Amino acid sequence: MSVQFWLVIPAAGVGARMAADRPKQYLQIAGRCILEHSLHCFLDHPGLLGAMVCVAADDPFWPQLPVARDPRLRRAPGGRERADSVLAGLQALLAEGAGAEDWVLVHDAARPNLARQDLDRLLVSLADDPVGGLLAVPARDTLKRASAEGRVAQTVDRSVIWQAYTPQMFRLGALQGALAQALAEGVAVTDEASAMEWSGQAPRLIEGRADNLKVTRPEDLHYLQCIWSPER
């Protein structure tokens, strides 16, 4: 039986490093924009209960997308930072009747290459977990800690270092509470797991594929163009 879940997609960022004429999540690749590709894996999953896509109030691109008419998708107000957008999405889900004990997944709008196998592995692995967790990848390369002068200060033990990816999966009420409290106290929250960590929880790491990359620079788009088949 499929694990049922809600989805939040923070999509209010501008993606300045792409130097494009629009936010990076709306750049086209393989016939659809990045955000549409990012949503595809979830919309094709039988466990999806519904989703909140958090976009800027003056976003002119989202209403033009065919996927925006999917009845399972709702629009929520995006915030200044990622954590603000995610919190708004969680609060909107609760206001529409989602349960505090329901699972919610948060996924980057610009992470379009999520494999269905990774999504299923996350859902099955965490279905009975008391905290939740996230997809992540063990560090492969030698890691260096830099000094203020831009020189190597230390070589870091990579055996205990993981790169945090998305989706990240937690109970809706617990994540909403952790994010709200962290933001109220001025804590720097870079992902959902960091909010849960700050609240005293230890999210579980679920190993995923390294090609579940987040589009940040133009070369990331070129990489996806090379690995995606024409029929995608």
Q: What pTM does this model have? A: 0.94
> Above 70 in pLDDT, residue 113?
yes
**Mean of per-residue pLDDT scores for the chain:** 94
- The lowest-confidence range among 7-16, 69-78, 191-200 is 7-16
pLDDT at 166 over 70: yes
Region 192-212: mean pLDDT is 97
Strand partners, 155: 144
- CB atoms closer than 10 angstroms to residue 38: 25
Q: What does the pLDDT read at residue 48?
A: 98
Give the pLDDT band of residue 229 (cuts 50, 70, 90): low
pLDDT average, residue stretch 101-123: 97
pLDDT at 22: 87
Residue 231 — pLDDT band, cuts 50, 70, 90? low
Given this model, what pLDDT does residue 228 score? 84
Q: How many whole angstroms separate alpha carbon 221 and alpha carbon 198?
A: 34
Q: Give the three-class secondary structure for 146.
A: strand
CA gap 121, 167 in Å, rounded: 11
Residue 140 pLDDT greater than 70, yes or no: yes
Residue 198 burial by CB count (10 A; 0-12/13-18/19+): exposed, middle or buried? middle
Report pLDDT for 70: 96
Distance CA 149, CA 95 (A): 49
pLDDT of residue 78: 93
Say which CATH superfamily domain 5-137+163-227 falls into. Spore Coat Polysaccharide Biosynthesis Protein SpsA; Chain A (3.90.550.10)
